[in-house]
Structure 1
Amino acid sequence: MRAPHPSGSIRNLLTFDIEEWFHANYEGLEDFATSKRRGSNFRAQLEALLELCGETGSKATFFTLGCIGEDYPDLVKRIVRDGHDLASHGYGHQLAYKQSYLEFYNDVKKSVDILEQLTGTRVLGYRAPSWSIVESNLHYLEALEDIGLQYDASIFPVKTFLYGIPTAPRDIHKPRVNGRELNLYEVPMSVTRVAGRNIGYSGGFYFRFFPGWFIKRAIRAANEQGQNSIVYLHPREIDTREQKLALPAKEAFIHYYSIGRTKSKLRDILTSFNFTSIAEHLQETRKLTV
């Protein structure tokens, strides 16, 4: 049964980065192939997210790695069958700013081809692993345009040790690269202003760190200004039983803080606000081509 949503509220954007527990980009980790042999709870995690979307009447964008399409084709098909937006997260979770332009193009193209051939549906969007479109490789967005994608959701208007463009526009827009406006929408991650700085509040570590009342207050504030808020999470963030990476204290705190409360907090947020996918929102408001 679908939970009731507040009537008349703006539809916010629900997104998931679909990857395994070991797909992280900190320095010094064992290679993905070695970690993969240790197994995972990924199937149960993704099924739980799909069921939660169904229970709350929420549509989402699932930014999916191409290798996930190869390893779990039935689950990726279910994403589409359940009416969600299937988008690319690249093929193997490599940081975009550590790839050459050609490596980046080939990585994204490979993932798009896998997902489209698997499901028979067109992939419209992309999100870089670990928000790795930054100022130094902003021109990589031209590769997405050349591939035929219609939106990117890789830019986080903050500054951290791993990612971010703190001066980036906070609204959905068509970015300019090399003096030219791209035929591609940029959907930046939601931020709020605290002490004169942009901070995230509604995804990943920020979603786990801040209390639910703070997140809901920030979403309401954005909606009152006519803006959408974007939520993003990874499958591993709802599963305390999943295996964990051996990380230094700071990185472990960022990666695993409050995972035990994430699923119930997500359910509360999804029943408190209306959520749709990025593609559906852009199709309704900006008439994307499907």
Structure 2
Amino acid sequence: MTQQRIANAFTIDVEDYFQVSALAPHFPREEWENVPCRVERNIDRILEMLDAHGASGTFFTLGWIAERYPAMIRRIAEAGHEVASHGYNHERASAQTPARFLSDIKLARAVLEDVSASAITGYRAPSFSIGAGNLWAHDSILEAGYAYSSSIYPVKHDHYGMPDAPRFPYRLENGLLEIPVTTNRMLGRNWPAGGGGYFRLLPYAVSRWQIARVNREDGRPAIFYFHPWEIDPEQPRVREASAKTRFRHYINLERTEARLNRLLRDFAWRRADEVFRDAA
């Protein structure tokens, strides 16, 4: 059943498999140039999926990727999707000084605007790494020229999360719009409902129910995210990674593309800047 009353936001964090934070110990940044990229083929498949379903989305893209694949970024923009920023180097905001963070996100925005020939208004921190300990980052995001951020996940997680944050878009005191990743409120806590590893781990019916519940009971659009490497079951395996990391990274990769096609059929999807244009 297609949900037509509410358009949800479909977002992609454009990074390659070796740039994931959990795999950072195995792929130092200074060695990225020597690792064969797989991102372009995966993005092209995602663009085909979106076109087949008449959907549009937001591509939160690393500046590092945009510099090396400018034609890919132009294809995204020319297809009517939003190009947004995921920073330049995929370094967690919480691991940077304010000065270094500002420099990184300014550079990313400049690169993305130059390559895409479009205004870059959205930003998402790598690994949702803005929380109670570094809320100063929102001032940096505004200073760097962005209009909105989607960097907070109001859940409890071992690597990120701000469970006491608002569940839906809100305007910060400095004027920046923060768009948290979607959660459901049940049993006195927030439960993740916005994609990522949970989308691969749990049966598809759970994700469909979660998003439908937010649309129906909260009367709000959801914001969903995933990564291009999540539709790439043939990516190289990092055997040296911990068992926990391998489980989280590789679980159900072979099922993700089919699930995404079902998701695109079952709900209406648009760019984040369009879905939340009048938010807060």
Please tell me the TM-score bracket, short chain as reference: over 0.9
Summarize the alignment of residues 128-167 of structure 1 with structure 2, pairs less than 5 Å apart: 128-167=125-164
Residue number among 259, 268, 272 corresponding to 1:274 in the alignment = 268
The residue that corresponds to 1:96 in the other structure is 93
Q: Which amino acid is the alignment partner of residue 247 of structure 1?
A: A
Correspondent of 1:217 among 206, 209, 216: 209
1:23-102 to 2 correspondence within 5 Å? 23-26=19-22, 28-102=25-99
- Partner Cα separation in structure 1 for residue 246 and residue 144 of structure 2: 36
Give 1:229's aligned amino acid. A
Which residue matches 1:235?
228
What is the CA–CA distance in structure 1 between the aligned matches of 2:276 and 2:117, rounded to whole Å? 21
Deviation at 1:194, TM superposition (A): 4.4
Distance 1:7 1:232, change over 3 A: closer
Which SS does the other structure have where 2:59 is aligned? strand
Displacement, 1:286? 4.8
Q: For residues 8 and 21 of structure 1, do their structure 2 counterparts lie closer, same or farther at Cα, with a shift above 3 Å needed?
A: closer
Q: Is there any run of 5+ residues in structure 1 with no aligned partner, and where?
A: 176-180
Per the TM alignment, residue 133 of structure 1 is displaced from its structure 2 partner at its CA by: 0.6
Tell me, in whole angstroms, the C-alpha distance in 2 between the residues paired with 1:128 and 1:7: 29
Q: How far apart, CA to CA, are the structure 1 residues paired with 2:170 and 2:231?
A: 31
Distance in 2, matches of 1:187 and 1:47, equals 26
Give, in whole Å, the separation in 2 of the partners of 1:108 and 1:36: 21
Instruction: Give the number of aligned pairs.
Output: 277
Supply the distance in 1 between the matched residues of 2:110 and 2:159 (Cα, whole angstroms).
28
For 1:133 and 1:99, how far apart are their aligned partners in 2? 11
Contact 1:200-1:206 at 8 Å conserved across structures? yes
Superposed displacement of residue 192, structure 1: 1.6
Q: SS of the residue aligned with 2:89?
A: coil
In 1, Cα distance between the equivalents of 2:107 and 2:61? 12
Instruction: Return the letter of the residue paired with 1:25.
Output: S
Find the aligned partners of 1:96 and 1:150 in 2 and give their Cα distance: 18
**Pairing 1:118-129 to 2, within 5 Å after superposition:** 118-129=115-126
Return 5+ residue gaps in structure 2 as ranges.
none
- Cα distance per residue 1:77-130 (max 9 Å; x no partner): 111000011100000100110100010000000000001011221000100001
RMSD: 1.6
Kindly, what percent of the aligned residue pairs are identical?
A: 34
What is the CA-CA distance between 1:218 and the residue it aligns to? 1.1
Q: Distance in 2 between matches of 1:6 and 1:161?
A: 34
Moved more, 243-252 or 23-32: 23-32
Could you tell me whether the CA contact under 8 Å between 2:152 and 2:162 is conserved in 1? yes
Distance 1:251 1:8 in 2: 37
Alpha-carbon displacement from aligned partner over 1:207-238 (angstroms, at most 9, x marks no partner)? 11111111111111111121111111100000
Relative to the length of structure 2, the TM-score reads 0.94
Q: Mapping of 1:249-288 within 5 angstroms?
A: 249-283=243-277, 285-286=278-279
Bigger CA drift: 148-157 or 32-41?
32-41
Amino acid at match of 2:275: H
- The CA deviation string for residues 110-153 of structure 1, in whole angstroms up to 9 with x for no partner, is 00000101122100010000111111111110011112211000
1:48-74 deviation digits (Å, cap 9, x = unpaired): 011111111111110000011111000
CA distance in 1, matches of 2:27, 2:125: 21
